[in-house]
Amino acid sequence: KSLNKDQKLELARMQEDGKEMENDLNGRMRSLVLSKEIPCLARLFIPIVILGNIALFLSGHLSLGGTVTLSGSFAGESFNVDGFFEFSIAKSTIEMWEAGAKALVM
């Protein structure tokens, strides 16, 4: 169903009022980093914490998550296969994408 002419005018007026209010707030307010009400230590420390969190997230997802080492004996001879299977979250995600499990990757 479509809006009639009066409804369209009312919607346009409401959108214009919202834009005016947003511009008024933007003119009177400062960002948290520049705000004098926020302690200086918090203004500097919070971005550092956020960047550290991003670094830890990337490190955890891109680094090696685990390794399977195969060891046993056959005909009286012992053997070890180091690094039989290695996995990480990033590698597993790529393998799932290539296998067609796109719904699981998302």
pLDDT tens-place string over residues 13-40: 999 999 999 999 989 888 888 888 889 9
pLDDT at position 19: 96
Residue 7 has a pLDDT of: 93
For the entire predicted model, the pTM comes to 0.54
Distance, in Å, from the CA atom of 70 to the CA atom of 106, rounded to the nearest integer, reads 32
pLDDT, residue 24, reads 94
Helix (H, G, I), strand (E, B) or coil at 105: helix
- The residue assigned the tokens 């997230």 is 57
Residues 6 or more apart whose CB falls under 8 angstroms from that of 85 comprise 67, 68
In this predicted structure, what is the pLDDT of residue 65? 84
Given this model, what pLDDT does residue 86 score?
87
Give the up-direction half-sphere exposure of residue 46: CA atoms within 13 A in the CB hemisphere. Answer: 8
pLDDT in the model for residue 31: 85
Residue ranges of the chain whose pLDDT lies below 50:
none
What pLDDT does residue 32 have? 83
pLDDT at position 36: 86
